[in-house]
Structure 1
């Protein structure tokens, strides 16, 4: 329980930092442009007819290009990652990127025959929420939203919500539970993530 408490505290600090850090170049147009590029690439992969593994590889590349993986990785590790060696954190970030690409890539594969359409953007404190809708064949459209910040020095998304469910919060809970089972051993967690998703 203590580790999860620290994870929650660190996560809250991370999100507060997003709110407190002034944005330099980011604006509605640039946030929307980023997500349009992201969504365009996702739509091309969905329509490609590639195998599942090939799609997951493409999603991992897209995540690396458009996602703030350093922030996502640190947020999911929380206090356990703060003093970890740089090489350990790099290996974890790479494994996490592949894990997220596979896990959420399976959701995106459900979109085959459909598409994602960017609808609007709104400022939320010091970051932007870009709202999109996923249109699937034979199903009702649903919300797919991206939180965009330039805190890392580049315009990147640091969270995604599918039907209002946050990727960052979901992974923080799940990674926290996995890390608890590994008694805080990030290298062991990294090895497991490579096989999951």
Structure 2
């Protein structure tokens, strides 16, 4: 396993700065302890799946469940669709969100499988404007550890993570680029792109 696979292939190119600047600054009940508690659950479940010895298909199913329980999937999916979300119908958004959830589980589940023999460790949490950032470290056998950060908010009414940054690279922004490219290949046809997304990852 190379550093390129474990570090950079998890998330494509992009940064989180533009998205972070656009987050609302409302007062939230979320605090350091509850943000860390959420990420402790996420990390604990990911570590258990990594160590389970299950097949890749089973692991991907488990990762999709983790994403469904602990991520703000609606917000993440809509933001990756970008401005095109404004012209989509409610039915198209629902279908896209469902397809996106499976796509993310397949794409990142395959990458997390490469962590077998390693572990993710939660380190610290800090408040950032209207959300909390929880820093973790991925420890892999025979390689230098690297940084993973979960951005957590309760804007949906629950404590959920709305982005994942690996060495500063944002899942949301990088996937927005990927989805935009897929949509361009379909000449802006959201239904056709959604169908492609169900097979991608």
Normalised to the residue count of structure 1, the TM-score between the two structures is 0.89
SS where residue 162 of structure 2 aligns? strand
1:69 matches 2:91: no
1:134 matches 2:134: no
Which 5+ residue runs of structure 1 have no aligned equivalent? 1-10
Tell me which stretches of 4 or more aligned residues in structure 1 moved more than 6 Å. Answer: none
Aligned to 2:9: none
Is the Cα contact below 8 Å between 1:18 and 1:151 reproduced in 2?
no
Output the CA distance in 1 between the equivalents of 2:112 and 2:95.
Answer: 25
Output the CA distance in 2 between the equivalents of 1:76 and 1:138.
Answer: 35
**Which residues of 2 match residues 1-197 of structure 1 at below 5 A?**
15-16=20-21, 18-23=23-28, 25-197=29-201
Is the Cα contact below 8 Å between 1:144 and 1:163 reproduced in 2?
yes
Report the alpha carbon displacement of residue 22 of structure 1 after superposing the two structures with TM: 2.4
Normalised to the residue count of structure 2, the TM-score between the two structures is 0.88
Report the alpha carbon displacement of residue 152 of structure 1 after superposing the two structures with TM: 1.1
Output the CA distance in 1 between the equivalents of 2:65 and 2:94.
Answer: 16
Output the CA distance in 2 between the equivalents of 1:111 and 1:190.
Answer: 29
Output the CA distance in 2 between the equivalents of 1:18 and 1:150.
Answer: 12
Report the alpha carbon displacement of residue 15 of structure 1 after superposing the two structures with TM: 4.4
Q: How many residues align?
A: 185
RMSD, aligned α-carbons: 1.5
Residues 89-144 of structure 1: CA deviation (Å, up to 9, x unaligned): 11110110111111111221111011100000011111011000011111111111
Is the Cα contact below 8 Å between 1:19 and 1:127 reproduced in 2?
no
Deviates more, 1:59-68 or 1:74-83: 74-83
Which 5+ residue runs of structure 2 have no aligned equivalent? 1-16
